[in-house]
Structure 1
Amino acid sequence: MNERQHRTSEDHSAVTVLGLGPMGQAMTRTLLAAGHHVTVWNRTPGRADGVVADGAVRAATPAEAVGASDLVLLSLTDYRAMYAVLDGATASLTGRTLVNLSSDTPDRTREAASWAADHGAAFLTGGVMVPAPMVGTDAAHVYYSGPDDVMERHHKTLAPLGVPRYLGADPGLAQMMYQAQLTVLLTTLSALMHATAMLGTTGTKAAEALPHLLAFTDSIGAVLRAGEETPGAALDAGEHPGALSTVTMMGATADHIVETSTSLGLDLALPLAVQHHYRHAIEQGHGGDNWTRIIDGIRASADPQRVR
């Protein structure tokens, strides 16, 4: 029995983690707790000290790390970092599965999947939808895309990180979902800071303002439903009934926010962007439609073949 066969038959739970920022460390500890043999590598070796103390094995090089396991998880800054790390380890990739949990664009993700295939490796894209401290908890979930047989083969090993939610064979799908959800997150965080700054001009402390603002963000789902279904089905049908929150009404609110922010001397980038969406819809004659009509302007420059 050769070394590879021995590892496959007796050490089937071996996993390698490349990249030991907070997320990589959290994944390593979660996999160790689940009973997996974990090999790690990081460009700055000292970052591995903590997880090595917890039971991980430190590899001296990326090639050594890749060679230690059939399943290799990458938690890096972006996909360029993947190429930089694996450039000297491509000979070790044949027969491995790379699961890249790094953030980048869907197009770069698809290119990376082709690159991996050229080197004989299977490729899954992953998007971890919780911060590092929540990895491995009941609240954690991870979106994946790539070949379904590869996902099925590694489902059990990946499950401890967070509930696996498989989106399909296109490697760009998980990255697209990740970017879409982070669009909501980052925009919301900016809105929270803008709102906190607004209230701060009245002398309201952030410690007092944020509980009110966060409570409102928690209620947005209920606000959208307002006794009805969420607007997804109507959007898919191209319908924007204006019985409740019309473009004109929401646009007036956007105008007021811009005026208030201007008078307070706050940065206008965010409120002007929101105002633009509503003004565009009104200019197109959709003032009486539901606020969801703003999606037309957002889609205006999108490739028609990509708009579902």
Structure 2
Amino acid sequence: MRQDTTGGTPLTLLGLGAMGTALARAWLAAGHPLTVWNRTAARAEPLAAEGVTVAATAAEAVAANGLVVVCLLDDASVRQALAGADLAGRDLVNLTTGTPGQARDLADWAHERGARFNGGGVMAVPRMIGVPGSGGYVFYSGSRELFEAHRDVLAVPAGARYVGTDPGFAALHDVALLSAMTGMFAGIAHAFALIRRETIAPGDLAPLLADWLGAMAASSVHLTAAQLASGDYVTGTGSNLAMMVAANDTLRRTAQEQGVGAELLQPYLTLMARRLADGHGAESGTGVVDLLTG
């Protein structure tokens, strides 16, 4: 085990892509002795000049410290990198983007080899890592004991949020937020497409769009959560499903007039119409969740 010579907790990092490099520099700046490994060794050279220890193999890097953080391309690359490593007694934190099922399987695999495990979900881009007040944070789930033992170290690059003992929950939270973001991006793309051929400057629409999305998200997210918890999809509803479905025809017709495809909107509009046809016109749009989980 590598000795702590600076007062910071020593750790190992596998993977030096854009995110891995940002993580490494954050821990290094905070005084944590760091051992790194990357499949392409040249990626480690700048960090070696900044004071990290570069291991020749992933197994050597894992052997160096009790806390091992992995930030690689995908689940397959994680398994490949760790295949020859001795994980007994190690605390393994996987920040590689993956599915909840992959995280659960990897946790079982790590436990069989004597390691504690936390899955992670990084809610930040590299430029936000190590920057106080950037708003970035990381979800962690799995061994509570691991998280509590290393909470301060894990919180160095970005805020650390523990979301449960199920090792798949960090990935699930990550993908849930990313899915909502993807739907928002679809709506933004459609909005800009509507004005693309007009004399409306995109820069003039942008602040209006940002303010509107922020206001709508703040109200609808909390209303949906409350209605799902209570099972009452009517109380608190402003515009009900019958009103919204009636208005949806205007969205389609406007897109047609502007020469814009409705592909980004149509799947959601179809689900709303199905819910209305099932007799739920007085509700909000929350019932669409039930159609999806159906």
Q: Do the two structures share a fold, i.e. TM-score over 0.5?
A: yes
Residue identity in the other structure for 2:200:
T
Provide the secondary structure at the position in 1 that maps to 2:156: helix
CA–CA distance in structure 2, aligned partners of residues 39 and 198 of structure 1: 51
Alpha-carbon distance in structure 1 between the residues aligned to 2:216 and 2:46: 40
Runs of 4+ in 1 over 4 A off after TM superposition: 8-12
Where does residue 280 of structure 1 map in the other structure? 274
Deviation, 1:283, is: 1.3
- Per the TM alignment, residue 24 of structure 1 is displaced from its structure 2 partner at its CA by 0.7
Please name the residue that 2:123 is paired with.
129
Whether the 8 Å CA contact 2:6–2:33 is kept in 1: the answer is no
Q: Is the 8 A contact 1:245 1:291 kept in 2?
A: no
State the Cα deviation string for residues 112-151 of structure 1 (Å, max 9, x = none).
1001111211110111112111122232221111111111
Q: 1:18 & 1:248 partners in 2: Cα distance?
A: 53
Aligned residues: 291
Change (3 A) 1:211 1:44: farther
8 A contact 1:26–1:132 mirrored in 2 = yes
Paired position in structure 1 for 2:66: 70
Q: What stretches of structure 1 of length at least 5 have no aligned partner? A: 301-308
* Segment drifting more, 46-55 vs 105-114: 46-55
What is the 5 A alignment of 1:245-260? 245-260=239-254
Question: Which residue does the alignment assign to 1:230?
Answer: 223
Q: Could you tell me which residue of structure 2 aligns to residue 306 of structure 1? A: none
Cα deviation, 1:55-108, whole Å, max 9, x if unaligned, reads: 22222111111111111111122211101222232xx21111111111111111
Residue identity in the other structure for 1:98: L
Distance, in Å, in 2 between the alignment partners of 1:104 and 1:141 is 17
Could you list the runs of 5+ residues in structure 2 that have no partner in the other structure? none
Displacement after TM superposition at 1:9 (Å): 10
Q: Which AA in structure 2 matches 1:131?
A: V
- Structure 1 distance, partners of 2:101, 2:72, is 17
1:205-244 paired onto structure 2 within 5 Å: 205-224=201-220, 230-241=223-234, 243-244=237-238
**Mean alpha-carbon deviation: is it higher for 121-130 or for 291-300?**
291-300
DSSP 3-state at the match of 2:247: helix
Residue identity matched to 2:252: V
Letter in 1 for 2:204: E
1:24-173 equivalent positions in 2, closer than 5 A:
24-89=20-85, 92-136=86-130, 137-138=132-133, 139-173=135-169
Q: What is the percent sequence identity of the aligned residues?
A: 34
The answer to whether the 8 Å contact 2:11/2:69 transfers is yes
Query: Partner letter of residue 133 of structure 1?
Result: R
Local SS of the residue matching 1:16 = strand
Query: TM-score if structure 1 supplies the norm length?
Result: 0.87
Letter in 2 for 1:57: T
Aligned counterparts of 1:239 and 1:171: Cα–Cα separation in 2: 31
Q: Assess, with a 3 A threshold, how the Cα gap between structure 1 residues 248 and 50 changes in structure 2: closer, same or farther.
A: farther
Question: Is the CA contact (8 Å cut-off) linking 2:163 and 2:169 kept in structure 1?
Answer: yes
Contact kept, 8 Å, 1:15 with 1:36, in 2: the verdict is yes
Q: Which amino acid aligns with 2:127?
A: P
TM-score for the superposition, normalised by structure 2: 0.91
What do you get for the CA RMSD once the two structures are aligned? Answer: 2.2
Q: The residue matched to 2:264 in structure 1 has which SS?
A: helix
- Residue range with higher mean Cα deviation, 288-297 or 173-182: 288-297
Counterpart AA for 2:234: P
Equivalent-residue separation in structure 1 for 2:27 and 2:49 (angstroms): 14
